[in-house]
Chains A and B, each alone.
Chain A
Amino acid sequence: MTDTPMTLPQSPGLMARLRGFWEGSSRNPAKRVQFDRPLTPWLFVLPQLLIVAIFFYWPSVQAVTSSFYLEDPFGFGSTFVGMDNYTDAISSREYRRIAGFTAFFAVMVTGLSLSIGLLLAVKADKVIRGASAYKTALIAVYAIAPPVSGLIGMMFFDMHMGPFTEMAAWFGYEMKVGINYNDTAFALILVAVWKQIPYNFIFFLSGLQSVPVSVREAALIDARSGWRRFKDIVLPLLAPTAFFLLIINITYSLFDTFAIIDVMVKDKPANNPMTLVYKVYLDGFKGNDIGGSSAQSVILMVVVAALTVAQFRFLERRVHYG
């Protein structure tokens, strides 16, 4: 009997894995059978690669580089200033105040539109009579563009004839949206929530309707009270949808609300509340502070990238176990 050295099953070394990465010899190809042509795949992927390179990577790299420079306002070149644009932004009181408002705005919009969307979805899932009419009425607003919802919101809060302004007047409150900071903040949140409810409703409803009938029936027997049934059975089943929506809603309130703000303050931000994205636009295009605006862009890029990575990691897990 000879001594055979025991061999452990080895995982491929780092270099081998790197080579695999570059050469595309992945152990799990997308398809069992694939075409083996050197040139054809390039023909198919090239248009997208070109567009991504020119309109995504080039500007992104430029945002990062110009965040380290101070552009001469009269267009005479630029000087390298290191991290100055970043420290200027972060240490500015105005920037911090806007960051604070952005966080508050995101929490309010996300919290309200998620909970109202969930409430409506749970009820729409229950009713039988008129279910499709409710559904149609509740998803229609998804189609409306943020600037259009901003315009409608602006009319509803108009100081001469807006119904909401009149309602406030019954209670003896003079509402001044566009002038008073808190009033404007209230109006912005209301419009942003209004616009986002249908999106959350659609996802929650489709999540609820994918719960198998057997589970529902078992739940009806096990838990008599509606609230307990919701808390112990429905909510855990909805958790993946809710997490996905949480990230989408935060991204929405940070970025997609730009148009709502721009329209509702009628292009005159003055001392009205605004979000960080609005400030990037304001400093870059109206203030001509390209370096400062780029530094703020990069800060936002980091925030969104972190959110998206969190979302992907989570989705991946959902795919594995779900």
Chain B
Amino acid sequence: MMQRIKPFDHLILILGALFLCMPVVMAFASSTHTAIDIHSNGLYVMPGSNGAETYTKVLTKRGGFTGEVTGLTMLMNSMILGVGFAVGKIVLSMMAAYALVYFRFRFATPIFWVIFTTLLLPLEVRIMPSYQVMSELKLLNTYQGLIVPLLASATGTFFFRQFFKSVPDELLEAARIDGAGPVKFFIDILVPLSRTMMAAIFIIMFIYGWNQYLWPMLMTTDESFFTLMRGIKTILQVWVGSQIPDYNEAFALAVLAMVPPLVVVLVFQRMFIKGLTESDK
């Protein structure tokens, strides 16, 4: 049965799409104009001709207080944080979920609760003591310090636990008849079986890691560890008090910071939605 299509529905959708997408389009277009043009004419909807110059400058100019950090360094650090976090999350949570689902052992239930209590509190509410712990462990200004504390939550574990529970029991029975031990069963059967799930979780976690702001801001004082998000903060600190702020460079930085996650979401759209709606964040 078909419903009549009303132009009104399309109107609402077009308005919604414009409201959501125009700021992104204008940020990109304006990043290709000069700061002076933006200052006198406002934001642009169409791209200009100054793009190559601005982006080369943002990517390669040495900035910051020590003159050490470039946009390229920050891009690389964001990538390390995003990929490192996603991979770490998948490895840790698959292993823990495997132990909880496939083994009969003492303390399994208390361990379950110890891990899942972490879902209660986001990092933001324990940010101050987390920072103190990191400085006691001498992990400030390291990649481990940037990535590992973010892994201390059970989101992925919860997801893989649900998935493993839905795997048919017959698989394990068959594997045991063939004489496969727990490690072999995990690596040869369960991991290949989880490939789609791993990809979906990877997408969600990569975006989550890439987009981190508060934690990298506190953990890194050494500019060679700055991520793009941290770079945004630096731009703002010189903003106040300048005659004509470098609008174009700020926009270019924003574009650099949003392109990788945007591409991932758009290219792997179906898998991204699967990961998001099935992992419940």
Grouping DSSP codes into helix (H, G, I), strand (E, B) and loop, the A interface class, with mixed when no group exceeds half, is helix
Q: B258 and A294: CB pair below 8 A?
A: no
When distances are taken between beta carbons in the complex, the residues of chain B under 8 Å from A44 are 95-96, 98-99, 103, 186
Known contacts A51-B151, A127-B5, A139-B265; is-contact A35 B43 (Cβ 8 Å): no
Does B13 lie at the interface of the complex (its beta carbon under 8 Å from any beta carbon of A)? yes
- Give A contacts to B, CB under 8 Å: 20-24, 26, 29-38, 40-45, 47-49, 51-52, 54-56, 58-60, 62-63, 66, 116, 119-120, 123-124, 126-130, 134-148, 151-153, 155-156, 158, 160-163, 166, 194, 197-199, 202-203, 206, 217, 220, 244, 248, 251, 255, 258-259, 262-263, 266-268, 277, 280-281, 284-285, 290, 293-294, 297, 300-301, 304-305, 308-309, 315
For the complex, give the distance between the alpha carbons of A11 and B51 in Å.
Answer: 73
Known: A255-B122, A267-B236. A144 touches B115 (CB 8 A): no
Task: Tell me whether B126 and A266 are in contact (CB under 8 A).
Answer: no
Partner of B115, one of A52, A142, A294: A52
23 contacts between A and B (CB under 8 A): A20-B109, A31-B172, A47-B92, A55-B152, A56-B153, A63-B129, A120-B16, A123-B13, A127-B9, A134-B17, A137-B20, A143-B266, A147-B232, A152-B24, A155-B247, A155-B250, A197-B20, A202-B277, A203-B276, A206-B273, A259-B229, A267-B237, A301-B121
CA distance A197 to B93 in the complex (A): 29
Please provide the 7 A-B residue pairs with the shortest distance between their CB atoms, ordered closest to farther. Answer: A24-B108, A145-B211, A44-B99, A41-B103, A55-B152, A59-B129, A143-B261
User: Residues of A contacting B92 with CB < 8 Å?
Assistant: 47-48, 51
A33-B115 in contact given A141-B21, A217-B1 (Cβ < 8 Å) = no
Neighbouring A residues of B93 by C-beta, 8 Å: 48
Measured CA separation A100–B228 after assembly (Å): 33
CA distance A47 to B213 in the complex (A): 25
Contact A123 B9, CB 8 Å, known A134-B17, A266-B240: yes
The answer on a CB contact under 8 Å between A119 and B12 is: yes
User: In the docked arrangement, what's the CA distance between A123 and B122, Å?
Assistant: 34
B265 and A138 form a contact (CB under 8 A): no
Of the candidates B39, B96, B207, the one whose C-beta lies within 8 Å of that of A160 is B39
A60 near B121 with CB under 8 A, answer yes
Are A280 and B125 closer than 8 Å at their CB atoms?
yes
Residues in B with CB closer than 8 Å to A31 are 101-102, 165, 169, 172
C-alpha spacing A5/B70, complex, angstroms: 84
Chain B residues positioned under 8 Å from A156 (CB to CB): 23, 43
> Which residues of the partner chain B approach A140 to less than 8 Å between Cβ atoms?
20-21, 24, 262, 265-266
Question: Closest Cβ of chain A: how far from B104's Cβ, in Å?
Answer: 4
Establish whether residues A52 and B152, one from each chain, have CB atoms under 8 Å apart when the complex forms. Answer: yes
Among B98, B119, B148, B273, the residue within 8 A (CB) of A202 is B273
Cα distance, A116 to B16, chains bound together (Å): 8
In the complex, which of the residues B10, B128, B169 contacts A290, with contact meaning CB atoms closer than 8 Å? B128
